[in-house]
Amino acid sequence: MEFLLLIQDRRGEAQRVPVGAEEMGKFARELAELGVLRGAGGPLRPEGEGARVRVGSGGASVREGAPLADAPGVVGGYFVVDVPDRAAAVELAKRCPYARAGFVEVRAMQFWRRDEGASPRFVFLYLWGPELTGPDEPRIAEMRAFAQVLTAERKLVGGARLPPEVPPARVEVRGHDVLVTDGPFAETKEIIAGFALIDARDRAEALELAKRVPHARWDTVVVRELARPS
């Protein structure tokens, strides 16, 4: 069963303990040696360089650099792991070095796909507000059909639905204490209901693709660029 480990900093707070790319790279290699790593990405470029895309009756709107003010954390990267169950995913999150700096959110995944021959340049985060009450099969079907279109265009590298009906978990390591908090989280007004890994030439093309995503008609698509090695 696949799970997404979202690496996050607490909004407005400095990292409790500095964790660098070398330590995170070592963790990724450990996951690969265990045979559970199915994908990874990060760091993401700063949230202020991202954009929020919505499509309404008046056309598409793009809010540049708009942070998720109601979200407790700022997403900085991710791992996709294939483990037997949620408990095993939480145990891996406890071992993630970034749990000492910020927190790791554990989310179950559905419909995961990944093109092993391509590398994503952008991440689309599909947000959903408090009106979400459960799975909406027609919308899920429309998103899956659109994913097939992007795959045919060789723009979709991977992605998945993150079912809100499966409770998430937040994992933090504070000194010798490991804190695991089960969701849903009352303070979070917008949840990440899914994501896509996109291979676009540049940010302008990524924004045009985001405007075509069916989810942009229902709520928000956040566009974040993956940082490239300098």
What is the reported pLDDT for 71? 65
Reply yes or no on whether the pLDDT at 81 is more than 90. Answer: yes
- Whole-structure pTM value: 0.90
175 C-beta neighbours (distance < 10 Å), count: 8
Summarised one tens digit per residue, pLDDT across range 96-154 is: 999 999 999 999 999 888 877 778 899 999 988 766 555 688 899 999 999 999 999 99
* Cα separation values, 166 from 39, 85, 134, 184, Å: 21, 12, 10, 9
Q: Structural domains in the chain?
A: 2-225 (3.30.70.1060)
